[in-house]
Amino acid sequence: MLTDTLIEIKELSFSYGNRAILKGINLTVPRGKVVAIMGGSGCGKTTLLRLIGGSVTPSSGHVMLAGQAVHKLNRNDLFLMRRKISMLFQFGALFTDLSVFENVAFQIREHTNFPESIIRDLVLMKLHAVGLRGAHNLMPAELSGGMARRVALARSIALDPMLVMYDEPFTGLDPISLSVIGNLIRRLTDALGMTSILVTHDVQESLKIADYIYFISEGVIAAHGTPAEVRSSISPFVHQFVHGEENGPVPFHYPSGTYAGDLSLGNNFV
């Protein structure tokens, strides 16, 4: 029986050795929605995606995906689950020696026994959805950054996944391409009835397309809310992040001793 919640994360903690990355995270992702995960570099956003996909296991707590605890799945069940999940990597991660058509066709051939006629129709359908059906014979080296990201998006929806995770999909894009990718994520989420998790630093684009936003800072959920609630938030952390201010709860300098003290150490500093 389907519920309105696709992902439920409870008291999720994760560490690399003695370095704690996530500390008791709690969040939910409804079906059919776009949820943005935001925060400074190194705060654990991408690690959270890896935990959802089962690439790493939590130190404590759990990720429930479609009613199943991801870290408790055996190898076969995890691979079956992953067939319903897709990932759009930073910069697209296209296969450089395959054409646009073959990039999108790759996972269809890998995971189905469809005849080539069906694969052809599916690939052209997905490329048409991102506006690149006419580019099906091009190689990745012939694509602009925005076009490559759109091909990667077509590839990520090739098998109509229930969940697509986007890791910094707007990085390195010009304003027009950025807007195009953002609108495609929103439209495809709605049209295909899938769920999207968006890890990004781009506040303004996220406020346009997301249904809900979580902010992570120092391993915990620092704030969360709808775009309207984020815009009107009086939280110092949210205000600093949304407006890109240098001074605020998130420090510019990495923790250290006094500058004068370090200078006085001279050659003994290192």
- List all residues 6 or more positions away from 35 whose beta carbon is below 8 Å from its beta carbon: 29, 195, 196, 197, 198, 210, 211, 212, 213, 214
Per-residue pLDDT tens digits for 205-225 = 888 899 999 988 888 888 888
pLDDT at 248 over 70: no
Looking at residue 105, its pLDDT comes to 92
Reference 65, options 73, 75, 56, 55; nearest CA is 73
Looking at residue 1, its pLDDT comes to 41
268 versus 156: the higher-pLDDT residue is: 156
Q: How far is CA 18 from CA 15, 40, 140, 178, in A?
A: 6, 21, 41, 37
Look over the chain and give the mean of its residue pLDDT values, rounded to a whole number.
84
Which of the four pLDDT bands, split at 50, 70 and 90, describes residue 251?
Answer: low
Average pLDDT, integer, range 84-88: 87
- List all residues 6 or more positions away from 15 whose beta carbon is below 8 Å from its beta carbon: 21, 59
Which of the four pLDDT bands, split at 50, 70 and 90, describes residue 147?
Answer: confident
Average pLDDT, integer, range 247-267: 67
pLDDT at 259 over 80: no
Looking at residue 124, its pLDDT comes to 92
Which of the four pLDDT bands, split at 50, 70 and 90, describes residue 246?
Answer: low
Angle at the Cα of 48 (from 87 to 148), degrees rounded to 5? 25
Average pLDDT, integer, range 228-235: 81
Predicted TM-score of the model (pTM): 0.81
pLDDT at 83 over 70: yes
Average pLDDT, integer, range 68-81: 89
250 versus 4: the higher-pLDDT residue is: 4
Average pLDDT, integer, range 57-67: 90
One-letter-per-residue 3-state SS of the chain: CCCCEEEEEEEEEEEECCEEEEEEEEEEEECCCEEEEEECCCCCHHHHHHHHHCCCCCCEEEEEECCEEHHHCCHHHHHHHHCCEEEECCCCCCCCCCCHHHHHHHHHHHHCCCCHHHHHHHHHHHHHHCCCHHHCCCCHHHCCHHHHHHHHHHHHCCCCCCEEEEECCCCCCCHHHHHHHHHHHHHHHHHHCCEEEEECCCHHHHHHHCCEEEEEECCEEEEEECHHHHHCCCCHHHHHHHHCCCCCCCCCCCCCCCHHHHHHCHHHCC
Domain boundaries, given as residue ranges, for the chain: 5-233
Reference 198, options 159, 150, 154, 164; nearest CA is 164
Looking at residue 114, its pLDDT comes to 92
Average pLDDT, integer, range 109-122: 90
- List all residues 6 or more positions away from 160 whose beta carbon is below 8 Å from its beta carbon: 192, 194
Reference 228, options 199, 207, 206, 259; nearest CA is 207
Average pLDDT, integer, range 248-252: 60
Q: Which fold has domain 5-233?
A: Rossmann fold (3.40.50)
Which of the four pLDDT bands, split at 50, 70 and 90, describes residue 99?
Answer: very high
Average pLDDT, integer, range 178-204: 88
Looking at residue 3, its pLDDT comes to 60
Which of the four pLDDT bands, split at 50, 70 and 90, describes residue 32?
Answer: very high
